[in-house]
Amino acid sequence: MGAVPPRIAVVGAGPAGAFAAASVWRMRPDAQVDFFERLPTAWGLLRAGVAPDHQEIKRLDDTFDRETLRRGCRFFGNVEVGVDVSHADLMRHYTAVIYATGAQTDKSIGIPGEDLPGSWAATEFVAWYNGHPDYRGLEFDLSGRRAVVIGNGNVAADVTRILMRSPEELERTDVADHALEALRESRIEEVVVLGRRGPAQAAFTSAELRELGYIDGVDVQVDSAEAELDKVSHEWLAEEGTFTARRNVALVREYASGTGAGTGADAVSGAAQRRIVLRFLRSPAAIRGTGRVEAVDIRRNELVRTDDGALRARPAGDEVETIECGLVLRSVGYQAVPLPDVPFDERSYVLPNDRGRVLLPDGEPLAGVYAVGWIKRGPTGILGTNKRDAAETVRCLVDDLAAGRLPEPASVDGDGGIEAVLADRKPDLVTAEGWHAIDVLERERGSRDGRPRAKLTSREELLDAARAATVAG
């Protein structure tokens, strides 16, 4: 090992970046690790993705803070790589660069009317209610009686819950103030959730599916015919069904028979004012409306087993059913966007890589460049998946360091290092101190109202809070 400690830049301070930084610290405690983050705030989707009514999970921020920033990782927030500093700048100042930029956009479904006003990517709604500064200005029309959510994963479950929760439930969370105010005025009484395949193939975790049945005053309905499995699903469940799939099938049956949570006393007594309707084997064919969303046309699917053994949905018959609605949230997955000056795999939407080593088109590693998280493996897995993913990438990096495969960076602080570059280009740089000030202020603001935090949601507010700390310090 050389006398000069390795310097590692982590681009993106979300969960994958945080686990990677923590992993570097465990394997190479002598390394200097610096985060480059586009926002003034840390922890990415833990803050802006995880639903506000899942506060338990957000506690992971303490672990991230303890294992990175409190151990000397530097935070360069409000800095966008590719805009404020280039990949070449990073390579000049760092021994290695780990890209942890995630998957920032949504997949399209490719149906007519997808872009009508009132039809949104669910991820936009998520970023809005979680107070992401780039989304705070969005205006969701919640004045209709019905919303349609397209998709059967946990993001679909999250947005459905947030649409159906009462203001009393939401005001105990860290949901953004602007979203809370809008949701207070919501007139949505019914959310229809469309699953392309059947209950056995739904991507919900059984915990999330079950949670839908435990929202105050909300009834969950499933048509009994849609709850029953077709022959193909029966076989699939028996042969290769997971523990979660079996639980989901049982839960959907309970909802259909009116014996599950959220289908009992409230429904019978008429106390349930609002309802969630889970539809299966249904795909949207078109989103329709004059000037804005008024309805979704759906078609029935059937499942077929393809040659590779996978179960696919294909259209069954020509019958079209129309669901009137004023809001559509499309939740069919995230997608990464290419990064400037690094290779990108346009088919898989990831940085081409081998266990985290980013590869050139000829298949050789691009020395000193690594990937972790969704930009490495695609948008799959849950939070903890990133810990193992990060360990794999960082092990490659540490091996490369030990084998002398990473040259020392050109700049060795004689010219003031990356800090001089940032001081010159980013007067409103947010450091770890600035982020901690934002964090403390938000928690204080929240505690007055019995909330875990009250988020600052504009860049100006965030930068002001960060600046105040730097001036005072």
Partner 1 sequence: MTYVITGSCIKDDSCIEVCPVDCIHPKPGAPDFETAEQLYIDPEVCIDCDACVHACPVDAIYAEFEVPEKFGYTVEVNAEFFAEKSTAERTAV
Q: Are strands 327-330 and 334-335 parallel, antiparallel or unpaired?
A: unpaired
Strand partners, 301: 315
Q: Shortest gap between Cβ of 205 and partner 1 (angstroms)? A: 4
Nearer to partner 1, 46 or 272 (CB): 46
Task: Using DSSP, state whether 316 is helix, strand or coil.
Answer: strand
DSSP structural state of residue 40: S
- The string of DSSP codes covering 192-256 is EEE-SS-GGG--S-HHHHHHGGGSTTEEEEE-HHHHSPPHHHHHHHHHH--HHHHHHHHHHHHHH
- Which of 127, 95, 84, 83 has the alpha carbon at shortest distance from 10? 95
CB 123 within 8 A of CB 106: yes
Among 56, 307, 318, 346, binds partner 1 (CB under 8 A): 56
Task: Using DSSP, state whether 67 is helix, strand or coil.
Answer: helix
Q: Shortest gap between Cβ of 214 and partner 1 (angstroms)? A: 7
Region of 29-37, 59-67, 332-340, 369-377 interacting with partner 1 (CB under 8 A)? 59-67
What residues numbered 382-401 form the site for partner 1, per CB under 8 A? 382-385, 387-388
CB 336 within 8 A of CB 330: no
Q: Shortest gap between Cβ of 230 and partner 1 (angstroms)? A: 21
Asked if 74 interacts with partner 1 (CB under 8 A), we say no
H/E stretch holding 162:
helix 154-164
Nearer to partner 1, 384 or 407 (CB): 384
Three-state SS sequence of 242-261? CHHHHHHHHHHHHHHHCCCC
Asked if 26 interacts with partner 1 (CB under 8 A), we say no
How many Å from the N-terminal Cα to the C-terminal Cα in the chain?
A: 37
Nearer to partner 1, 119 or 386 (CB): 386
Q: How many CA atoms lie within 13 A of 354 on its CB side?
A: 10
Tokens of 174: 């860290």
Please tell me the chain's helix, strand, coil percentages from 3-state DSSP, rounded to the nearest 5. Answer: 40, 20, 40
Among 80, 137, 184, 214, binds partner 1 (CB under 8 A): 214
Nearer to partner 1, 19 or 140 (CB): 19
Q: Shortest gap between Cβ of 334 and partner 1 (angstroms)? A: 18
Region of 50-58, 297-305, 417-425, 442-450 interacting with partner 1 (CB under 8 A)? 50-58
Q: Measured in whole angstroms, how far is the alpha carbon of residue 158 from the centre of its chain?
A: 11
What per-residue string of b and e applies to 123-141 under the rule 16 or more CB within 10 Å gives b? bbbbbbbbbbbebbebebb
Q: Shortest gap between Cβ of 213 and partner 1 (angstroms)? A: 11
Region of 58-66, 110-118, 263-271, 428-436 interacting with partner 1 (CB under 8 A)? 58-66
Q: How many CA atoms lie within 13 A of 360 on its CB side?
A: 6
Q: Shortest gap between Cβ of 469 and partner 1 (angstroms)? A: 26
Q: How many CA atoms lie within 13 A of 265 on its CB side?
A: 3
What residues numbered 357-386 form the site for partner 1, per CB under 8 A? 381-385
Among 41, 186, 201, 206, binds partner 1 (CB under 8 A): 206
Nearer to partner 1, 64 or 94 (CB): 64
Q: Shortest gap between Cβ of 186 and partner 1 (angstroms)? A: 24
Q: Shortest gap between Cβ of 200 and partner 1 (angstroms)? A: 13
Q: Measured in whole angstroms, how far is the alpha carbon of residue 380 from the centre of its chain?
A: 10
Nearer to partner 1, 243 or 346 (CB): 243
Asked if 247 interacts with partner 1 (CB under 8 A), we say yes
- Compute the distance between CA of residue 60 and CA of residue 57 in angstroms, rounded to an integer: 6
Q: Shortest gap between Cβ of 390 and partner 1 (angstroms)? A: 10
Among 87, 136, 210, 357, binds partner 1 (CB under 8 A): 210
CB 43 within 8 A of CB 15: yes
Among 5, 26, 59, 458, binds partner 1 (CB under 8 A): 59
Nearer to partner 1, 106 or 211 (CB): 211
- Compute the distance between CA of residue 390 and CA of residue 23 in angstroms, rounded to an integer: 7
Burial zone of 176 (CB within 10 Å; 0-12 exposed, 13-18 middle, 19+ buried): buried
Nearer to partner 1, 59 or 145 (CB): 59
Q: Shortest gap between Cβ of 119 and partner 1 (angstroms)? A: 29
| Residue keyed to tokens 């400690």 | 5
Nearer to partner 1, 247 or 436 (CB): 247
Nearer to partner 1, 20 or 418 (CB): 20
Q: Shortest gap between Cβ of 7 and partner 1 (angstroms)? A: 27
What residues numbered 103-162 form the site for partner 1, per CB under 8 A? none
- Compute the distance between CA of residue 280 and CA of residue 271 in angstroms, rounded to an integer: 26
Among 4, 88, 207, 360, binds partner 1 (CB under 8 A): 207
Among 62, 408, 413, 460, binds partner 1 (CB under 8 A): 62
Using CB under 8 A as the binding criterion, the count of chain residues that bind partner 1 stands at 25
CB 101 within 8 A of CB 375: yes
Among 1, 26, 29, 57, binds partner 1 (CB under 8 A): 57
Residues that bind partner 1 (CB under 8 A): 54, 56-57, 59-60, 62-63, 205-208, 210-211, 214, 242-244, 247, 381-385, 387-388
